[in-house]
Amino acid sequence: MYKDKFTNNNSKQTGEGIYSLIKELFPICRSITGNGVRQTLKIIGRHIPLEVYEVASGTEVFDWTVPKEWNIRDAWIKDGNGFKIIDFQKCNLHVVNYSAPIRAKMPLAELQAHLFSLPDHPEWIPYKTSYYKESWGFCLSHNQLRSLTEGDYEVCIDSTLVNGSLTYAECFIPGESQEEILISTHVCHPSLANDNLSGVCTAVFLAKQLAVQKLRFSYRILFIPGTIGAITWLNRNQASVGRIKHGLVLTGMGDRGGITYKKSRRSNADIDRAASHVLRQSADNYSIEDFNPYGYDERQYCSPGFDLPVGRFSRTPYGKYPEYHTSGDNLDFIRVESLSESFAALINILEVLEGNRFYTNLVPNCEPQLGKRGLYDRVGPNQIAMLWVLNLSDGHHSLLDIAERSDTSFKQIREAADSLHQAKLLG
């Protein structure tokens, strides 16, 4: 099948801009609460208008409670000679995220219960968390773990885990309608590039581009901690989620794999159809996954009480690439080309949602005479697209329906519809 390429001006340049922002945000140690997120949002706020929210620890949000705020200044392990063998300053993945503070000396045997490594990938440091259960730990490469000798070690985690608040931000871009498209991305991961700085920074550049366009829908772009952030946001906005007509969770935009779209729980929502259509028409290598209740924050948006039409857009799904949640997911792992293509595909999907409409053929009895309106060009693809639009514009078929049934790109169908509309053949 012939594939149209994704269309977007400057998508290479945009990919480079996304990559630069990822680079800037990469060193920050983020978690589900604390200053890492605040610092991240401050930098994002230089690019797009952002409303930042703080929700106090202890606030009940549905079945959950906003947890204590975690902050960390430093952490290390010293060997018997006082030599720092693990240093948080070098890599923030070394500390199990959300670790309680500790300062102690202990023999290797005792320490080992708090050390985590990846035997299958002995050079990478794993990313681990201990949310919702106070504990502490260090992550290190398996090579380093195996090199540890017997003896006493001194450990220090200079963190605080106290009442404070959970931080998240919204970027709202108004369109003609109060109906909204939700874009959600998690900002709680420390130095990991693909998961999910790639999603965060792609969302920033989407917002930048949308802000200068004439929009039909309003857009609400969320930068939130995973799970508890989405739950908190849904809890505080439950009265107005009815406005959300379409939505996407963004994650993993930069790896070499093909684009993967995971359908919403509804499985045939417009966002599901738009994403499937765009990928089918334009991607050489992609997959469409059915909904399942595991994954990122689509879990919350698609919980049965909300059942929002929110799908997930990524490249290789989490857990399907070995670098996932390890120090291997770094700035070398992601590619500008992938970021560019992901961005272009997203823009194309949003263009479908923006441009989808039901028209009515105003000359429905037999074909109109296109020649006398200068619209006749024998059998070009544009002519066929016009015939499809005329034939199916009976009030029951949207332009996306027509694009699907004719297996023609939405862009071509919409252009045909625009020509016909100008010629007063559609109303």
Tell the smallest beta-carbon distance from residue 93 to a second copy (Å): 19
Instruction: Categorise residue 178: left if φ over 0, alpha if ψ from -120 to 50, beta otherwise.
Output: alpha
The residue within the footprint of a second copy, chosen from 186, 299, 312, 315 (CB under 8 A), is 299
For residue 158, which amino acid is it?
D
Asked if 241 and 176 count as a contact pair (C-beta separation under 8 A), the reply is no
User: Given the complex with a second copy, which of 237 and 330 has the nearer CB atom?
Assistant: 237
Give Cα separations from 339 to 34, 186, 253 (angstroms).
28, 17, 6
User: Given the complex with a second copy, which of 80 and 395 has the nearer CB atom?
Assistant: 395
129 binds a second copy (CB under 8 A): no
**Alpha-carbon span 293 to 87, nearest angstrom:** 37
Joined together, the tokens standing for residue 158 give 């200079």
User: Given the complex with a second copy, which of 119 and 304 has the nearer CB atom?
Assistant: 304
**Alpha-carbon span 71 to 26, nearest angstrom:** 17
325 binds a second copy (CB under 8 A): no
Tell the smallest beta-carbon distance from residue 125 to a second copy (Å): 20
User: Given the complex with a second copy, which of 97 and 209 has the nearer CB atom?
Assistant: 97
Report CA 107 to chain centroid distance, whole Å. Answer: 43
Tell the smallest beta-carbon distance from residue 234 to a second copy (Å): 6
The residue within the footprint of a second copy, chosen from 2, 82, 214, 304 (CB under 8 A), is 304
The residue within the footprint of a second copy, chosen from 118, 166, 234, 278 (CB under 8 A), is 234
**Alpha-carbon span 293 to 55, nearest angstrom:** 26
User: Given the complex with a second copy, which of 25 and 417 has the nearer CB atom?
Assistant: 417
55 binds a second copy (CB under 8 A): no
Strand partners, 292: none
Q: What is the tally of helices (H) and strands (E) in the chain? A: 12, 18
Region near a second copy per CB under 8 A, out of 8-16, 68-76, 190-198, 229-237: 229-237
Tell the smallest beta-carbon distance from residue 305 to a second copy (Å): 3
Give Cα separations from 198 to 20, 27, 179, 185, 345 (angstroms).
11, 14, 27, 10, 15
Tell the smallest beta-carbon distance from residue 300 to a second copy (Å): 5
3-state helix, strand, coil in the chain (%, to 5): 35, 25, 40
Joined together, the tokens standing for residue 176 give 């003609």
Tell the smallest beta-carbon distance from residue 368 to a second copy (Å): 4
User: Given the complex with a second copy, which of 300 and 316 has the nearer CB atom?
Assistant: 300
The residue within the footprint of a second copy, chosen from 7, 51, 62, 268 (CB under 8 A), is 62
**Alpha-carbon span 300 to 237, nearest angstrom:** 13
366-395 binders of a second copy (CB under 8 A)? 366-369, 371-372, 379, 384, 387-388, 390-394
Region near a second copy per CB under 8 A, out of 9-17, 118-126, 159-167, 232-240: 232-240
**Does the N-terminal peptide bond of residue 196 adopt cis geometry, omega within 30 degrees of 0?**
yes
Q: At what angle do helices 410-422 and 336-355 cross, to 10 degrees?
A: 40
Q: At what angle do helices 381-392 and 399-406 cross, to 10 degrees?
A: 120
116 binds a second copy (CB under 8 A): no
239 binds a second copy (CB under 8 A): no
User: Given the complex with a second copy, which of 123 and 407 has the nearer CB atom?
Assistant: 407
Tell the smallest beta-carbon distance from residue 119 to a second copy (Å): 18
Strand partners, 155: 77, 104
293 binds a second copy (CB under 8 A): yes
Q: Are strands 115-116 and 138-139 parallel, antiparallel or unpaired?
A: parallel
User: Given the complex with a second copy, which of 201 and 230 has the nearer CB atom?
Assistant: 230
Q: Which residues bind a second copy (CB under 8 A)?
A: 61-64, 132-133, 227, 230-231, 234-235, 238, 265, 292-294, 299-300, 302-307, 361, 363-369, 371-372, 379, 384, 387-388, 390-394, 406
